[in-house]
């Protein structure tokens, strides 16, 4: 298992080095942000948004939805505790839209 994890780590590290090397010296303001892909796309939106003094979400286009469904997952715990957690109400104070 450790060998598999190490090989995966080396593959990811190599791919990231390649991506980073291709972006050194490029101006984020002139890049096609939608074509950059993960893992840097959100960071580039943030950089350009801050440079233009606008929220990053406004660079992504018009509003597509008025609300977004929220998912939730549980960390590993005892099965009895997992059942209790699944039946309980979320303890979040999230803003809602009208």
**SS3 (DSSP) at 4:** helix
Predicted pLDDT at 50: 92
DSSP 76: S
- What value does the mean pLDDT take over residues 49-76? 80
- The model scores a pTM over 0.85: no
Q: Please report which confidence band the pLDDT of residue 5 belongs to, taking 50, 70 and 90 as the band edges.
A: low
Q: What is the secondary structure of 13-72 as a DSSP string?
A: HHHHHHHHHHHTT--GGGS-HHHH-TTTHHHHHHHHHHHHTS-HHHHT-S---S------
Q: Which residue has the higher pLDDT, 77 or 47?
A: 47
Predicted pLDDT at 7: 59
Say if residue 98's pLDDT is above 80: no
- What value does the mean pLDDT take over residues 38-67? 84
């Amino acid at each position: 298992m450790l060998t598999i994890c190490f090989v995966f780590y080396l593959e990811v590290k190599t791919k990231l080095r390649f991506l980073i090397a291709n972006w050194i010296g490029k101006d984020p303001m002139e890049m096609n942000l939608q074509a950059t892909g993960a893992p840097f796309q959100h960071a580039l939106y943030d950089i350009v948004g801050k440079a233009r003094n606008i929220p990053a979400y406004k660079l992504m286009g018009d509003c597509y939805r008025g609300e977004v469904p929220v998912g939730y997952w549980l960390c590993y715990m005892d099965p009895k505790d997992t059942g209790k957690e699944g039946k309980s109400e979320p303890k979040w104070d999230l803003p809602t839209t009208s």
